[in-house]
Amino acid sequence: MALRVIGAGLGRTGTESLNLALERLLGGPCHHMTELFTHPEQIPVWRAAADGELPHWPTFLADYVAVVDYPAAAFWRELSATYPDALVLLSVRASADEWWRSADATIFASARRGAPPGSLPARQLEMATAVMERRLTPDWNDEAAAKRAYEAHNQAVRDTVPADRLLEWQPGDGWAPLCEALGVAVPDEPFPHTNTTAQFRAMVGLDA
């Protein structure tokens, strides 16, 4: 199957909620960072991509109808070129400050803490950090630099993707913009809201 949606938004912009929503709307699997817990064989492929050794995307992502979150979002340029008919979905927060507060308390806190050497979380963290440093900013742990990188990333997507392919979305927007862009009916159920800061920190044991 070919990708129908390419999520270009950084982590902590509602990507796990979008993951669930897109699977509901498109009737197929969506790729999210959490896929790497059940498909660890993908980790070295993404790690090599961080160093410029890109996979053959149609083969590597053959099982997915959409991608959101890191690491895929870091390769939005390559993916949007490979799948010219796919919608590019830029999920954002209301401000860079809001994004930083969420990312710093979750993704970056987890990266700073690390994981037991050789473990699956350690391999996943090393890959994600490499992608982040090469594709976003090597100074992700610095608030000012990270916020500048967040804003630059979003602006690059806006400046590059044609308006008729691009949907900019915030977590509070819910089903309607997605359904309109995809030409599908709005489900008669609440939009999924998951992976809050508290849920993320509990999942990875940051508050233990």
Q: Which fold has domain 5-204?
A: Rossmann fold (3.40.50)
Instruction: Determine contact, residues 1/63, Cβ cutoff 8 Å.
Output: yes
Helix (H) / strand (E) element for 7: namely: strand 5-7
DSSP assignment of 105-135: HTHHHHHHH---TTSHHHHHHHHHHHHHHHH
Residue 207, pLDDT > 80, answer: no
Percent of the chain with pLDDT over 70: 93
Q: Domain boundaries in the chain?
A: 5-204
Question: What is the rounded distance in angstroms from the CA atom of residue 13 to the CA atom of residue 23?
Answer: 17
Residue 42: which pLDDT band, with cuts at 50, 70 and 90?
very high
Question: What is the rounded distance in angstroms from the CA atom of residue 192 to the CA atom of residue 172?
Answer: 11
The residues pairing with 5 across neighbouring beta strands, listed in sequence order, are: 66, 87
Determine the residue type at 75. Answer: F
Instruction: Determine contact, residues 122/116, Cβ cutoff 8 Å.
Output: yes
**What are the backbone angles phi and psi of residue 6, rounded to the nearest 5°?**
-115, 110
Residue 201, pLDDT > 50, answer: no
Among candidate residues 162, 197, 199, 181, the one with its CA nearest the CA of residue 22? 181
Percent of the chain with pLDDT over 90: 86
Instruction: Determine contact, residues 179/185, Cβ cutoff 8 Å.
Output: yes
The residues pairing with 169 across neighbouring beta strands, listed in sequence order, are: 91
Collapsing DSSP to helix, strand or coil, 6 comes out as strand
Instruction: Determine contact, residues 197/171, Cβ cutoff 8 Å.
Output: no
Collapsing DSSP to helix, strand or coil, 167 comes out as strand
Per the model's pLDDT, the better-predicted residue between 22 and 200 turns out to be 22
Question: What is the rounded distance in angstroms from the CA atom of residue 47 to the CA atom of residue 57?
Answer: 14
